[in-house]
Structure 1
């Protein structure tokens, strides 16, 4: 009887441990109250998991509380965003790239990827991701629509082209090959699948659609209310922008014609993003739900919206203008090299 009574107590303790806690006074990261609870059931369950599943469970436990804090009032008054769904993939991306570069250096490979240009582009591109997603723009976007727009423009017009210039796929593949022998086959299949999207006209259409659709007021406000949708928004911005920049700048060996078309696509993108920025700037009324704390920045909601439109209009246009001028200079240089010598 004592054994049965002990087993019943243990089962009730396990159920109490696994039952969700609804005490709103307990902070999501406060483990003090949970340390004294029976943990034999949880420990036994964790021991049954594989190492990969165990790591995934720990990450999910860390990430779940952050979903409720990602865009709430608790994070609106400081400049840092510690969302594991953001900083863990970013840190893993940087670590794998660094491991691949070190592997290339050890094998003394004479690769253009080890030059200062690609390495500097990767550093600046990831710095832009850090500024946009971790500090300070993501948190400032809670209190200012202009800061939120600046975050989008850093992702689209700054980090994305720099990461394309860095060409990180080779270092990433080398880093992953040590754990997954079929890495290069997978990368080759992925490139084959995405090849139709790398046509400049297709990539331009996809990128333009992503920008205009996500800046529709209904979707824009919905992304602010739902953290998972906000993450999808950021991923689509970065992915479509990298697709666009890779498509227009990937075929540099094709001659002056390809560089000239890349300059043209940059100009067209400058025009349609500038048009969207102008529409937001000169809108006669509020298009988006006002940020409640914008008054702390000495801006009215209307002024905040106008500043956001100007950020999309002018600084973003400068990024596309610089890229277009670079492509045009390459076009002229290649045309001069292709010109037959005069006798």
Structure 2
């Protein structure tokens, strides 16, 4: 089995862990669990699937900018209190939220990792990193729990801030490192042509 395939299967394993293990009990609150699942899906699972199964994920390889734009709309949309509350209730809302996160993540990573456009891919990852960092910072710095009332639970600003920190701590380094790898690849390609 190739290293690529192993990475794809690791992505599937991480996906199973995110959905099958009682992470909510370990996280101690709903919002950090939500953010761990969300960031695991878009920043860990989907890039591993794209690298591991390039043929199966090829149809998601649109332009890096289009992928970043779709992910922006999806991620910010699902973090509006009304949509977040619907997804927090489980059922169709949760399935639609997680499915759209997965598709958006696949669009970002499949577009960014296309071998023919490493600088465009780095740009798409930079844009994604910027909007994720901004959203994480807004969640951390909010003066009150944004989601407690709509989700029908007691306010827990500490849990919300932990969720924002998870968004920053997972997303920012993953997108930044991947973007730098793509820039290095582009520079190596240019040196090879010279």
Question: What's the TM-score, normalizing by structure 1?
Answer: 0.52
1:120 aligns with 2:9: no
**Post-superposition CA distance 1:34-85 (Å, at most 9, x none):** xxxxxxxxxxxxxxxxxxxxxxxxxxxxxxxxxxxxxxxxxxxxxxxxxxxx
Shift of 1:143: 3.4
Match of residue 203 from structure 1? 67
Distance 1:283 1:248 in 2: 31
Match of residue 146 from structure 2? 287
Structure number with the bigger relative contact order (C-alpha 8 A, sep ≥ 6) is: 2
The aligned length equals 193
Match of residue 330 from structure 1? 185
CA contact (8 A) 2:81 2:146 kept: yes
Which residue among 88, 91, 109 is the counterpart of 1:245? 109
Query: Secondary structure of the residue that 1:322 maps to in structure 2?
Result: helix
Q: 5 Å matches for 1:241-320? A: 241-250=105-114, 252=115, 254=116, 258-289=117-148, 301-320=156-175
Shift of 1:137: 2.8
1:157 aligns with 2:39: no
Q: Whose helix fraction is larger, Structure 1's or Structure 2's? A: 2
Shift of 1:260: 1.5
Q: 5 Å matches for 1:90-109? A: none
Distance 1:307 1:285 in 2: 13
- Between structure 1 and structure 2, the one with the greater Rg is 1
CA contact (8 A) 1:161 1:242 kept: yes
Question: What's the TM-score, normalizing by structure 2?
Answer: 0.89
Distance change >3 Å, CA 287–CA 278, structure 1 → 2: same
Query: Secondary structure of the residue that 2:148 maps to in structure 1?
Result: coil
Distance 1:138 1:126 in 2: 20
Shift of 1:293: 8.4
Shift of 1:139: 6.0
Query: Secondary structure of the residue that 1:284 maps to in structure 2?
Result: coil
Q: Which runs of 4+ in 1 moved over 4 A?
A: 138-142, 290-294
Indicate the RMSD between aligned Cα atoms, in angstroms: 2.5
Shift of 1:269: 0.9
